[in-house]
Amino acid sequence: MSSDRGRGTGHPAGSEQSAEARLESWREALRRHEADDVEGRTARLRSRIATLQEAGLDDDEAFLVAVMRVDREDPVAREVAREQAAVFWRRFDRSPAAPGGTTVDWRGVGVVAALAVGAGVSVKVGVAQLDSTAFGHNVALLVAPFLGAYFAWKRRVSWRTAAVLLLLTAVLAVAINVYPFDVGGSTGFLAAVHAPIVLWGLIGVAYAAGRWRSTAGRLQYLRFTGELVVYYALIALGGGLLVGLTIGLLTLADVEFQGVIEDWVLPMGVPGALLVAAWLVEAKQEVVENIAPVLAKIFVPLTTITLLVSVAVLGAVGSLTTVDREFLVTLASVLVVALALLLYAVAARTPGRRPGFFDGVLLAMTVAATAVDGVVLTAMVARTAAFGASPNKVAVLGLGVLMAVHLVWSAWLLVSMLRRRDGVAGLDRWQAAVLPFYVGWAFLVVVAFGPLFGFV
């Protein structure tokens, strides 16, 4: 029966060691939470795992199901179960090319290569067929479907889910390209800016597949997004350096290469590198998980300082109706960065780690961001009352209200966590819960603001 699966000739020792390692991790997590009867709780979990294995589940499935079926009336066990499930999902779907692996997933490499070429061709055709404004509005639509297709293939997304994702992507494409936006108007610009956010959310559904509704699935996607930005930046820096050196060498040889760069290397390489970066993040998750907390600890304090300086500058301003528009746009950009860092820092946090100094810094950034957001909202309300409503003002107001709710409750959860020095399950769930609202607001801006404001 299945009690022998993973313990026979296929995996003689690895599965038993893995199972014992998981049980030891469970035991240590209980000790961190100062739970009583640690051995009794561990024995009950071991018994559940064995029962599920006898029923036909493999080791991974049995562990996950057993953990999620811990005693519902036991709050400590529930908290530890959430932590253990999060750790499990981080290590699920590992690529054979991950560190410690001995083979390369050539099929996966082929799929990524084909999709990277497809994304490059899509952008090149867009450059050739669209004017600069239309291309700027469509660039995300030209690339995102290929990244979504990669995860739909890798995660074996159901046909129903894939159909819904394609339908929503088509709705975005229609809104961007069929709506009669005024040339240089606000609603067209807002649609182009918010469409990538919606596409990011749709890719997240494909990335998490059946786990999109779970906290663990959404937080894993946040971690992936942060690392994707880092990997893509590194590829861009390295690629830019190589292109620059190549141009320099060919110039010395009186060979003209500028046209090739503009016509082929950039249109094909820039979008293709995104697919390569996504594959690298997936393949190197063990290394990535060590980078994530470091990145958060570097940028959260820097952003906190920027926000505090912004608060001081705003304190010196007189009437909020006289605040420079460009300054408000800059503040809104800083707030978006702070919000992204909050999401990323919570997602990158090691499950089970007790609150510490960095959580206090994260709280300081959240409070400062809340103060800046309050001032921006007040300024926008004052400007709307003085000069009337506009698509830009309504878009900023809607986002500002959503951010205010997100930041205030996050600050409250951080304070509660620091006072009680307990786990972060509530904070995790809150960050995961607000993601669909940001994507939903962006979708509303794309499809509804044009008709509402006469496409101006």
Query: For 250-281, what is each residue's pLDDT tens digit?
Result: 777 777 777 777 788 888 999 999 999 999 88
Is the residue at 146 inside a domain? Answer: yes
- Are residues 128 and 49 located together in one domain of the fold? no
Q: How confident is the model at residue 189 (pLDDT cuts 50, 70, 90)?
A: very high
Q: Who wins on pLDDT, 134 or 81?
A: 134
Please give the C-alpha separations between residue 179 and each of 55, 199, 398, in angstroms, as whole numbers.
56, 18, 22
- The angle, 0 to 180 degrees and rounded to 10, between the axes of the packed helices 425-452 and 75-90 is 60
Is the residue at 60 inside a domain? Answer: yes
- Are residues 354 and 208 located together in one domain of the fold? no
Residue 45 has pLDDT above 50, yes or no: yes
108-117, 187-196, 305-314, range with the lowest pLDDT: 305-314
In the chain, how many domains are there?
3
Please, are residues 67 and 76 in contact by the beta-carbon 8 Å criterion?
no
Please give the C-alpha separations between residue 319 and each of 160, 375, 404, in angstroms, as whole numbers.
53, 11, 22
- Are residues 143 and 238 located together in one domain of the fold? yes
- Are residues 65 and 169 located together in one domain of the fold? no
Q: How confident is the model at residue 14 (pLDDT cuts 50, 70, 90)?
A: very low
Is the residue at 434 inside a domain? Answer: no
Q: Tokens for 60, please give them.
A: 């991974």
For residues 49 and 51, give the distance between their C-alpha atoms in angstroms, rounded to a whole number: 5
Please, are residues 311 and 371 in contact by the beta-carbon 8 Å criterion?
yes
- Are residues 299 and 414 located together in one domain of the fold? yes
Is the residue at 259 inside a domain? Answer: yes
**The whole model's pTM is what?**
0.76
3-state SS assignment for residue 69? coil
Give one word for 313, left, alpha or beta, with left for phi > 0 and alpha for psi -120 to 50: alpha
Among candidate residues 225, 251, 283, the one where a domain is terminated = 283
Please, are residues 97 and 139 in contact by the beta-carbon 8 Å criterion?
no
Among candidate residues 90, 114, 146, the one where a domain is terminated = 90
- Are residues 227 and 257 located together in one domain of the fold? yes
Q: What pLDDT shows up at residue 403?
A: 96
Note the Cα 387 to chain centre separation in Å: 37
Half-sphere exposure at residue 121, Cβ-oriented, CA atoms within 13 angstroms? 7
Q: Tokens for 272, please give them.
A: 């293709």
Query: For 128-160, what is each residue's pLDDT tens digit?
Result: 999 988 999 999 999 999 999 999 998 889 899
Average pLDDT, the chain: 81
Among candidate residues 90, 117, 137, the one where a domain is terminated = 90
Largest CA distance in the chain: 78
Please, are residues 215 and 81 in contact by the beta-carbon 8 Å criterion?
no
Is the residue at 446 inside a domain? Answer: no
- Are residues 162 and 207 located together in one domain of the fold? yes
For residues 250 and 258, give the distance between their C-alpha atoms in angstroms, rounded to a whole number: 10
Is the residue at 436 inside a domain? Answer: no
- Are residues 176 and 202 located together in one domain of the fold? yes
Is the residue at 447 inside a domain? Answer: no
- Are residues 296 and 393 located together in one domain of the fold? yes
For residues 65 and 85, give the distance between their C-alpha atoms in angstroms, rounded to a whole number: 9
- Are residues 18 and 142 located together in one domain of the fold? no
Q: Which of 209, 5, 2 is nearest to 92 (CA)?
A: 209
For residues 188 and 180, give the distance between their C-alpha atoms in angstroms, rounded to a whole number: 9
Please, are residues 304 and 361 in contact by the beta-carbon 8 Å criterion?
yes
For residues 91 and 64, give the distance between their C-alpha atoms in angstroms, rounded to a whole number: 12
Q: What angle do CA 409, 203, 335 make, to 5 degrees?
A: 35
Alpha helices in 388-424 (DSSP H): 391-420
Is the residue at 429 inside a domain? Answer: no
Q: Which stretches of 296-373 are assigned E, i.e. beta strand?
A: none
- Are residues 259 and 307 located together in one domain of the fold? no
Q: Which of 110, 126, 133, 247 is nearest to 192 (CA)?
A: 133
Please, are residues 222 and 347 in contact by the beta-carbon 8 Å criterion?
yes
Q: What pLDDT shows up at residue 97?
A: 43
Percent of the residues in the chain that have a pLDDT greater than 70, as a whole number:
78
- Are residues 118 and 193 located together in one domain of the fold? yes
- Residue 165 belongs to domain spanning: 106-283
Please, are residues 63 and 19 in contact by the beta-carbon 8 Å criterion?
yes
